[in-house]
Amino acid sequence: MAIDEKMEGETAVLAPLKQEKISQTDSTEPDLIIRLQNVGKVYKTGSGDFTALKDISLDIEAGEFLGIIGKSGAGKTTLLNMIAGVSEITSGEVYFYPQDGEKGNGRVSPVLLNDLKEDELAAWRGQNMGVVYQSFELLPQLDLVTNIMLPQDFAGLYQAKISRERAMELLDIVELTEHAYKLPAHISGGQKQRVAIARALVNDPAIIIADEPTGSLDTVTAETIFQIFEKLVAQGKTIIMVTHDSDLAPRFSQVVRIADGELVADTAVTETVAVETAVEAPAVEPEDEEPNGQTAVFYRGSDEETPHSRQNQPAIVLKDVYKTYVNAAGEFPALKGIDLQLDYGQFISIVGKSGSGKSTLLNMLTGIDHPTAGEVIIGGQNIYEMSESQRAKWRGRNMGIVFQFFQLLPTLNLLENTMLPMDYGNMYPVNERPERAMELLKMVGLEDHMYDLPAAVSNGQQQSAAIARSLATDPPIIVADEPTGNLDSRSADNIIQVFQHLADRGKTILIVTHDPSLTSRTDQTVIISDGEIIDETIANALPLLDHPLMLQATRHAEKKTYAPGKIIVQQGKPLVNFYMVADGAVDIVIDSPQYPETTLATLGAGQFFGEVELVGDKTAIATVRASEDKPVTVSVLPKQLFCDLLDQSPPMEEELKRVAETRHKENITKSKSVN
């Protein structure tokens, strides 16, 4: 199949805005496909009712390219949700006019969407409407062909060979055939949006709705997407596109401008219209709620140990992992020799600034991207020794993934979204999957919303549903990429509590974040900077250094191990190093010929010594030796580097001076009491 080239000299003609009252029984217009009559939408919020749409009447004809234009908060997306039937109408009616009796819906035209039950509405949407969103909404663990086949699967139309042929046909339309079996992470943002368009076409719907489909794309890629829509309209598809870009108005066949929930007349394409100067209300969404206002009850499953919990091995091991990207500007090293070990049953945060390599590291751990060099061993398996298809199956069974933008399929309810991994991992008997999905949704406090579409619940509830979905195959490891980035503080706290409960039950939780405040709530923190892991001992001992300085210290620190009782620092001798305890403990003792040896303090992992002497330029005021019970490992920084780091970090220098002064006074006091 190929798209006809756009006719040269074709000009878009703007139809006048239709706002008159319309009789619901009037079906004389053969080209009418959607009619909105006096539609209103009111959201209930904690501060009262918010009216998002006010008495909207609108006709949409088959085969037209409708642009809904307005600024943020104008009501564009809410209007689109009314047309798509993904949000409940407060007042008014929405009618659908089947074209030539297509789709076999068995109803006399027109169909009043308000009257359809939820399952009928879902079936209608699957047959008649394709949806394209700004954030693509592709499932990251499925290749492009499988992503495209999803709507057919859930419409009950899936046939392995025919559906795959249809997906390849659609990939040819959007010129992505050569990428058919790649994962979404391996293609660009513009290519992902083209895949989303192909998926929207898979059931050959009469209507395509697109919500800011070019909002995240550069101008060249956005133009490519727009041209695809224009060609589809030329083939007879009805395209309804929401945008905030008024410059696109001349290219639509009808323009609807909206401000403050009301339609505004479009006077002329080339003139400044009233909506551009309208004062608009801020966007208001349903207020995030605590799940049922209660503490979630967690599904525990079997009391038996899992195979992973019995294995005497770490959950994740990375050995000398490198990742280098090659582009037109040359080579860019994203990861530089990463060595990392993470254990089962831990809640681990991965922290770093934007561009530090967090997402690349995540792609290595999940098997989504290939390392340039090195090994990634998870559960004892080197995952990059598997084929792409083997790794996809492994990921579906062993790794749950939660993303910042939820990645819930908008046309499936929360229960169906949660069942997806079970279906595609072929896990659990088919008749048991709904019950298991219900238990998981109950676990995260969503038992009252399992039949709601994602658009009908708050952001926090959508993220909770994404967590439930990540647990569908009972994977030992859950990876979450900025899962609280789009949430208010209360909803974010809810999500972190869920993760903590899961870790307590033996799951290994990795949460990638740029928020260092979350690290106090995790068992282990991995800090990444410029593609390298910062030594945990240095991060704990010198927390006020910024990440580049921590990385500098990491590169130059030397690890040394001392046998039990071995002297590390001798009292009265000059000090040339700063010491940080990585493992084990050291004793600080007074060593005097006149008095018996006395222990002043014992320092454990994350603590340090030598700062008193280095900051004050003194000889050692006490002896430091490894404790008698086991060896001690320390990270050692040379004096000059230590002083250079403090010069570049006044907060850290001030803190160490304070600690040094306090310790010096304590040691003198204790020494005098012994004497």
83 located within any domain? yes
Residue 99 has pLDDT above 80, yes or no: no
Highest-confidence segment of 59-73, 380-394, 422-436, 547-561:
547-561
556 in the same domain as 522: no
CATH number at residue 516: 3.40.50.300
7 located within any domain? no
DSSP E strand stretches across 477-611 = 477-481, 508-513, 524-529, 532-533, 558-562, 567-569, 577-583, 586-590, 598-603, 608-609
Distance of CA 237 to the CA centre of its chain: 32
Sheet with 129-133, strands from edge to edge, namely 129-133, 207-211, 238-243, 65-69, 254-259, 262-264
* Dihedral of alpha carbons 642, 648, 649, 650, sign: positive
570 in the same domain as 427: no
315 located within any domain? no
pLDDT in tens, 448-491: 888 888 878 877 788 888 888 888 888 889 888 877 766 667 77
Residue 88 has pLDDT above 90, yes or no: no
Please report the pLDDT score of residue 614 as a whole number: 80
517 in the same domain as 401: yes
Please report the pLDDT score of residue 173 as a whole number: 84
* Predicted confidence band of residue 583 (pLDDT cuts 50, 70, 90): very high
d(CA 365, CA 378): 8
628 in the same domain as 480: no
* Predicted confidence band of residue 39 (pLDDT cuts 50, 70, 90): very high
Residue 403 has pLDDT above 70, yes or no: yes
138 located within any domain? yes
Please report the pLDDT score of residue 72 as a whole number: 66
Please report the pLDDT score of residue 289 as a whole number: 38
38 in the same domain as 116: yes
The answer to whether 96 touches 34, Cβ cutoff 8 Å, is yes
Beta bridge partners of 595: none
Please report the pLDDT score of residue 268 as a whole number: 35
**Which of 474, 502, 533 delimits the end of a domain?**
533
Sheet with 111-112, strands from edge to edge, namely 48-61, 32-45, 91-96, 111-112
285 located within any domain? no
Higher pLDDT, 304 or 50: 50
225 in the same domain as 159: yes
* Predicted confidence band of residue 382 (pLDDT cuts 50, 70, 90): very high
pLDDT in tens, 484-523: 766 667 777 777 888 888 888 888 999 887 777 777 888 8
**Amino acid identity at 205:** P
Q: Cα angle at 452 between 450 and 454, to 5 degrees?
A: 105
User: pTM here?
Assistant: 0.57
pLDDT in tens, 213-247: 876 666 777 788 888 888 889 988 999 998 877 88
* Predicted confidence band of residue 7 (pLDDT cuts 50, 70, 90): very low
Summary mean pLDDT of the chain: 78
CATH number at residue 565: 2.60.120.10
474 located within any domain? yes
Please report the pLDDT score of residue 154 as a whole number: 61
565 in the same domain as 450: no
670 in the same domain as 639: yes
247 in the same domain as 99: yes
Please report the pLDDT score of residue 579 as a whole number: 94
**Which of 533, 567, 597 delimits the end of a domain?**
533
> 482-489 long-range CB contacts below 8 Å, 24 or more apart?
482/403, 482/404, 482/512, 482/513, 482/514, 483/402, 483/403, 483/404, 483/511, 484/513, 484/515, 484/518, 485/404, 485/513, 485/514, 486/404, 486/405, 486/459, 487/288, 487/459, 487/460, 487/463, 488/288, 488/460
Report the pLDDT averaged over residues 355-366: 84
Residue 630 has pLDDT above 80, yes or no: yes
The answer to whether 626 touches 568, Cβ cutoff 8 Å, is yes
453 located within any domain? yes
How many structural domains does the chain have?
A: 3
271 in the same domain as 171: yes
273 located within any domain? yes
392 in the same domain as 476: yes
d(CA 626, CA 561): 9
Closest C-alpha among 425, 104, 260 to residue 436:
425
556 in the same domain as 523: no
Residue 672 has pLDDT above 70, yes or no: no
**Which of 533, 560, 579 delimits the end of a domain?**
533
Closest C-alpha among 138, 58, 132 to residue 95:
58
- By residue range, what is the domain housing residue 393? 344-368+386-533
Beta bridge partners of 569: 624
Residue 153 has pLDDT above 70, yes or no: no
